[in-house]
Structure 1
Amino acid sequence: MIDHNRSRLSHQDCWKSWKEDGDAEARRQLIEHYLPLVDYVSSRMAVGLPKNVTKDDLASNGIMGLIDAIEKFDYQRGLQFETYASWRIRGSIIDGLRQGDWVPRSVRDKAKKLEDAYTVLEQRNLRSASDEEVCGYLNISHKEFQQMLQEVAVSAVCSLEDPIREEESETRLSLLVDDKAVNPESKVHETYLKEALTQGIEKLTPKERTVVSLFYYEDLSLSEIAEVMSLSPSRISQLHSKAILRLRTALGKQRDQLLQH
């Protein structure tokens, strides 16, 4: 990754020249300096994707996201560019994947069936659903269940960017983000959704919580997590898929409750 202290010191003038004077050379230097962000984000997102999607495919879309971030970033607000740019890069990669129709409809259908199963079972039993209960609900064997998890792993990367409902453009992530203005409604949504995520994480199994923590908070790849937990990469991918499905259920339930008030 990038040396943050060095970045702030050596690139403040570049930001100023680009934003205030429109200096194309300063813009080029900023793009070159932050290119490692594209490699970092695309490497993380490449794990578990179909073999026909290469890291180069992700990186080419990611570069467009980086350029967009440099165009729109307000360096005077004192925010960390790497965090802002990472979201832009990730969003651009996801947009590119969507345009390429990289997730077959059959896989999306399986992900929806699994998500519905977790929703029904957890509402019925008021606790996390076990693998056996999900298998029974879907009338499938444990082997078929594991295969479904492996297949839907490729859709988990878009889990928060997908529309909440197919006919709507609003995404789960949009409910968590307040671009600039702070308004009461956004703060209420953010508070409730953070609470929903916290409760959702608490309902995960210990192994699922560990995977979520290492992947999203410690920035380890799924392969690195497999080494840490002494499990196979495919098993880590399955644990990640189950965790995402449970968290999507928690967010969807919270969103429905918000709409009722």
Structure 2
Amino acid sequence: MGDPEVRDKLIKEYGPKIKYMAYRLSHRLQPDIDIDDLISAGIIGLMDAMDKYDPSKETLFKTYAEFRIRGAMLDEIRAMDWIPRSVKEKAGLLYRTVAQLEKKLGKSPTEDEIASELKMTMAEYQEFIAQAKTSAMISIEDLGIHLDNDRDILECIGEPEKRDPLTLLLSKDTRDILKSAIEHLPEKEQRVVSLYYYNELTMKEIGRILSVTESRVSQLHTQAMFRLKGKLKERNG
């Protein structure tokens, strides 16, 4: 796609989509991220897609372009390094603890078991989860295996015909690992992930369905992300 007119047309065509993706990422991750920086990164991602798109791969350009756009935005966010070191350390400790308990117990550990392993009271553990939340939110975007977007995670659970085309960019082994990891989440956490990403409900709406507070839904979501990250890190070495 080297024709300047074609490239200009695509940039104009994808402009609204890039802005939407930038606002969505900013809202999910960190409200004070500079939207213009994400939009600029998205445009670079689109141009990269134009240069590297291979029609012989039987992937629609739209699918490939969105993959590259979001990837460029995530690279920009990581380059900002806005997650404090203390939060990264908390996240790392939680990932390792969950993975170790999974091995030791042969099942997904309960909140009480995780808190006990960390030598924390439940109140201290919940505060710990709240502080590590920002790291979990960016983790959902790739889970350490370069997933394109948050919805792909849930698409791996459903029937093949319901999957988003971007899921097909993943290897079968990766999809199988991810599917297994999600299916082994505790029931309530799996339901939160499903309602949040597949049904696209807000945490407040999910709270009404589960008869819990919005804050509790946020805790369950964060725990699910750490469990998935820990399990995938373990499986991927």
Residues 31 and 214 (structure 1 numbering): CA distance in 2 closer, same or farther, change over 3 Å?
farther
In the alignment, which residue of structure 1 is the partner of 2:190? 209
Deviations 1:83-136 (A, max 9, x none): 222221222112212222211111111001111111121211111111111111
Secondary structure, counterpart of 1:156 in structure 2:
helix
Residues 99 and 230, structure 2, Cα contact 8 Å, conserved in 1: yes
Within-5 A mapping of 1:1-261? 19=1, 22-75=2-55, 77-159=57-139, 172-173=145-146, 190-218=171-199, 220=200, 224-230=202-208, 234-256=215-237
Residue 27 of structure 1: CA displacement?
1.1
Q: Is the 8 A contact 1:48 1:237 kept in 2?
A: no
Which piece of structure 1 moves more, 113-122 or 30-39? 30-39
The residue identity in structure 2 corresponding to 1:173 is H
Whichever of the two has the greater Rg, that structure is 1
Question: Quick check: 1:192–1:254 contact (8 Å CA) kept in 2?
Answer: no
Q: Which structure 1 residue ranges, 5 or more long, are not aligned? A: 1-18, 165-170, 175-188, 257-261
Write out the 4+ residue segments of structure 1 that deviate beyond 6 Å after TM superposition: none
Q: State which drifts further: 231-240 or 26-35.
A: 231-240
Tell me, what secondary structure is at the counterpart of 2:109? coil
Cα distance, 1:28 vs structure 2: 1.0
Name the TM-score, length of structure 1 as normaliser: 0.69
SS of match in other structure, 1:47: helix
Distance in 1 (CA, whole Å) between partners of 2:216 and 2:46 is 32
Distance 1:61 1:47, change over 3 A: same
Q: Distance between the aligned counterparts of 1:207 and 1:31, measured in 2?
A: 42
Letter in 1 for 2:3: D
SS at match of 1:128: coil
SS for the counterpart of 2:29 is coil
Once the two structures are TM-superposed, the CA of residue 31 in structure 1 deviates from its matched residue by 1.1
* Deviation digits for residues 129-153 of structure 1 (CA, Å, limit 9, x no counterpart): 1111111111123233223222322
1:252 partner amino acid: K
1:177 equivalent in structure 2 = none
Q: In structure 2, what residue type is equivalent to 1:133? A: E
Once the 2 structures are TM-superposed, how far is the Cα of residue 59 of structure 1 from its aligned partner? 2.6
CA contact (8 A) 1:37 1:82 kept: no
Q: How many residues matched?
A: 212
Structure 1 residues 228 and 43, CA, compared in 2 at 3 Å: closer, same or farther?
farther
Q: CA deviation at 1:51?
A: 4.2
Q: Looking at both structures, which has the greater relative contact order when contacts are Cα pairs under 8 Å and sequence separation is at least 6?
A: 2
Secondary structure of 1:159 counterpart: helix
User: Does the 8 A contact of 2:189 with 2:224 survive in 1?
Assistant: yes
Distance 1:98 1:32, change over 3 A: same
Change (3 A) 1:84 1:201: same
Instruction: Describe the shift of the 1:107–1:26 C-alpha distance in structure 2 as closer, same or farther (beyond 3 A).
Output: same
Aligned residues of 1:64 and 1:89 also touching (Cα < 8 A): yes
For residues 99 and 202 of structure 1, the distance between their equivalents in structure 2, rounded to whole angstroms, comes to 32
Per-residue deviation, residues 57-92 of structure 1 (Å, max 9, x unmatched) = 433322222222233223465422332222212221
| CA–CA distance in structure 2, aligned partners of residues 237 and 43 of structure 1 | 20
Whether the 8 Å contact between 1:118 and 1:129 is mirrored in structure 2 is yes
When the two chains are superposed, the root-mean-square deviation of aligned CA atoms in Å is 2.8
